Amino acid sequence: MINKCCKCGKKIRWSSKLGSLMKGYAPIICNACNQEYTFSIWSRLLIAPLIPLPILLNIIFHDNMFEIFGKYSLLFYILYIITITLLVPFIARYEIVNAQGK
């Protein structure tokens, strides 16, 4: 992950990264110099399966997993999604968008 803009050295806010994720991997733009950053391909590949993971596990283990949580399974899943979403800005990698490459 990037903490500082590598062009101007200004700190990139965690909320900017989260906002980018919420918009479906939208580019992060440095507030100071407008340098753009995008999620690297492997970050997308890593993050994408995390969201439906509990559902996939549930299918694999034939509904046994969610029986542990019973009626709280939906609540558990919502909490899981929130946790993943909050953690993603810490695990994701970003790449500089080359302005000349556009």
Q: Give Cα separations from 45 to 59, 68, 84, 86 (angstroms).
A: 21, 29, 14, 17
CB atoms within 10 A of CB 88: 20
Exactly one of 33, 55, 78, 79 binds Zn ion (CB under 5 A); that residue is: 33
Q: Does 28 bind Zn ion (CB under 5 A)?
A: no
Exactly one of 21, 28, 30, 47 binds Zn ion (CB under 5 A); that residue is: 30
- List of residues 6+ apart from 25 with CB closer than 8 A: 38, 39, 44
Exactly one of 32, 41, 57, 59 binds Zn ion (CB under 5 A); that residue is: 32
Q: Burial of 30 by CB count in 10 Å (0-12 exposed, 13-18 middle, 19+ buried)?
A: buried
Nearer to Zn ion (CB atom), residue 32 or residue 75: 32
Residue 10 CB, nearest approach to Zn ion (Å): 5
Exactly one of 4, 8, 67, 83 binds Zn ion (CB under 5 A); that residue is: 8
Residue 12 CB, nearest approach to Zn ion (Å): 8
Residue identified by tokens 């803009």 is: 5
Residues that bind Zn ion (CB under 5 A): 5, 7-8, 10, 30, 32-33, 35
